[in-house]
Amino acid sequence: MKKVLAMLVVASMALSAPCLGADLNYGSYSDSELQYIVDSARTELYQRQQRAENGNLVLCEVDGVQVALTGAVLKADYSLRLEVVVSNNSDKSISIGADKGYLNGWDTGCLFSVSRLEPKKKIRDAINIGLEKAGISDITEIEDASFSFFLFDPETYSTTWESPEMQIFLSEDFTSVLSVQEVVVIG
């Protein structure tokens, strides 16, 4: 069914947009057709970002510190567990913390902590967003997920950078992250 819908969407797009720069009439598409277009575009953008970033989806690059998702969703019974790589190319030690995580609109908390990463070092870790507080027993029940984190100085404990809330888009089989985008609040 999805392949048929995909072919219909592609055909309708080809007919309604004869040249690449033509504006699409999004109002003429059904919700499922628009969702397919958005998901396809998001997947393509993520794949381009992966190629550009050596396989990782960069969440931040601040003062020589890079935090990036590998794209892998790791096996876990009680949390959404996202593999992350932190590279400290600065000349100072850094620490990372997180406590804000949301699943299906529920504040579930987030566990992501790097107590101290020395200069010119890397670490592979995971961002964990708990399922229980959202009443979820398995990651396949996740409809939307977001989190935020912060960098801080391990000597003074002062925050040096805070991420915006980031929404996570997972693959249909919940084995990989397709993309991450900043949550924009209107109003």
Residues 152 and 88 in one domain: yes
Do 95 and 160 sit in the same domain of this protein? Answer: yes
Q: Is the pLDDT of residue 34 over 80?
A: no
Q: Do 63 and 44 sit in the same domain of this protein?
A: no
Give residue-wise pLDDT tens across range 38-93.
777 766 665 555 444 556 889 999 999 999 999 999 999 999 999 999 999 999 99
Q: What's the whole-model pTM score?
A: 0.71
Residue 187, domain member (yes or no): no
* 57-62, strands of its sheet edge to edge: 57-62, 65-74, 79-88, 121-130, 110-111
Give domain status of residue 105, yes or no.
yes
